[in-house]
């Protein structure tokens, strides 16, 4: 990415990609240069056997605020269980959101107020998030991944820079292997199809070496109509793209999940197993409650209400 920035480590920070990816040190390959399975494991610095990551794919689009609350609940459970026994699970939550615009904490209140009024009128929710960054959109047709991992399990401990580099490569490799779509290098946060078309966003939070938030990638064209109503991430000259548009194939979110899960395990050097929701645990109960809440909410707007 060509950015000469210091390594950032914190117990409570939000990390956009451009703040984290820096050139590799001499003799130590940067994971952003990894191009495939063989090269990845040859350059790995982690030499240990770790427990699998349990993943869960939600059946229906989820409301944003309760999903955010779920992440916070899981974070607290992981933190407590790590202190008591170190038997806490690492998780990957995969989902779609109901149509929602989210703003970052650095945006001014007058701007947020005006945007909230305008965007809720076209049929979307609006949430002011604790993350950094600016206005963006999540909704059906877009896969959102929330990894809830303990980076201290890796030896040496995986830093935030390496964690985000791997996430970016995950999305780039998925485009290439699953759809023969090349990404375009960019100085901006996310994954681009060309200098003016963005297909995926990344932003993570790391507290006490436990991760939350994650990535979003547009699969179908549906999210693009909602993105057209805003200047996403403060980039005036950039529009949203999708894998469907880039590949010229009709795609579904469900069809992308297996390959994305496999590649996630590959890039983070972990086995992937389905989360067993038949086990009675605080995390499983919280997930099932959110599944029920999403089902009870019924249908959602498939396009902005001002579409013609």
Q: How many Å from the N-terminal Cα to the C-terminal Cα in the chain? A: 39
- Residues serving a catalytic function are 233
7-32 residue pLDDT tens? 333 333 344 433 333 333 333 334 33
What CATH code would you report for 53-296?
Answer: 3.30.930.10
Percent of the chain with pLDDT over 90: 70
Q: What is the mean pLDDT of residues 143-162?
A: 96
Average pLDDT over the chain reads 85
Long-range interactions of 232-237: CB distance < 8 A, separation 24+: 232/134, 232/135, 232/136, 232/137, 232/198, 233/133, 233/134, 233/135, 233/136, 233/188, 233/189, 233/190, 233/198, 233/201, 234/133, 234/134, 234/135, 235/188, 235/198, 237/196
Structure tokens at 168: 């970016």
Q: What is the mean pLDDT of residues 122-143?
A: 87
221-230 residue pLDDT tens? 999 999 999 9
Please compute Rg for the chain using Cα positions. 19
User: What are the residue boundaries of the structural domains of the chain, listed by start?
Assistant: 53-296
Which position has the higher pLDDT, 44 or 59?
59
Do 174 and 104 meet the contact criterion of CB atoms below 8 Å apart? Answer: no
| Model confidence at 119: pLDDT above 90 | yes
| pLDDT value at residue 104 | 73
């Amino acid at each position: 990415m060509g950015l000469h920035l210091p390594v950032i480590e914190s117990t409570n920070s939000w990390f956009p990609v451009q703040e984290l990816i820096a050139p590799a040190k001499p003799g130590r390959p940067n994971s952003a240069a990894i191009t495939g399975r063989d090269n990845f494991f040859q350059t790995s610095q982690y030499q240990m056997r770790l427990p699998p990551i349990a993943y869960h794919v939600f059946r229906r689009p989820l409301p944003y605020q309760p999903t955010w609350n779920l992440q916070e609940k899981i974070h607290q459970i992981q933190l407590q269980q790590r202190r008591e026994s170190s038997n806490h699970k690492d998780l990957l939550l995969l989902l779609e959101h109901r149509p929602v615009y989210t703003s970052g904490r650095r945006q001014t209140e007058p701007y947020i107020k005006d945007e909230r009024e305008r965007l809720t009128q076209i049929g979307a929710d609006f949430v002011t998030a604790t993350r950094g960054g600016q206005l963006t959109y999540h909704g059906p047709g877009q896969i959102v991944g929330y990894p809830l991992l303990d980076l201290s399990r890796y030896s040496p401990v995986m830093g935030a820079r390496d964690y985000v580099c791997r996430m970016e490569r995950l999305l780039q490799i998925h485009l290439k292997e699953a759809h023969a779509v090349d990404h375009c290098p960019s100085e901006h946060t996310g994954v681009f199809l060309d200098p003016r078309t963005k297909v995926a966003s990344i932003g993570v939070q790391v507290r006490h070496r436990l991760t939350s938030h994650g990535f979003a990638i547009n699969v179908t064209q549906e999210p693009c109509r909602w993105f057209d109503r805003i200047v996403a991430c403060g980039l005036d000259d950039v529009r949203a793209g999708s894998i469907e548009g880039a590949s010229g194939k009709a795609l579904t979110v469900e069809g992308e999940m297996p390959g994305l899960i496999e590649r996630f395990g590959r890039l983070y050097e972990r086995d992937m197993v389905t989360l067993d929701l038949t086990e009675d645990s605080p995390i499983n109960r919280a997930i099932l409650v959110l599944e029920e809440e999403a089902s009870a909410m019924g249908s959602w707007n498939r396009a902005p209400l001002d579409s013609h």
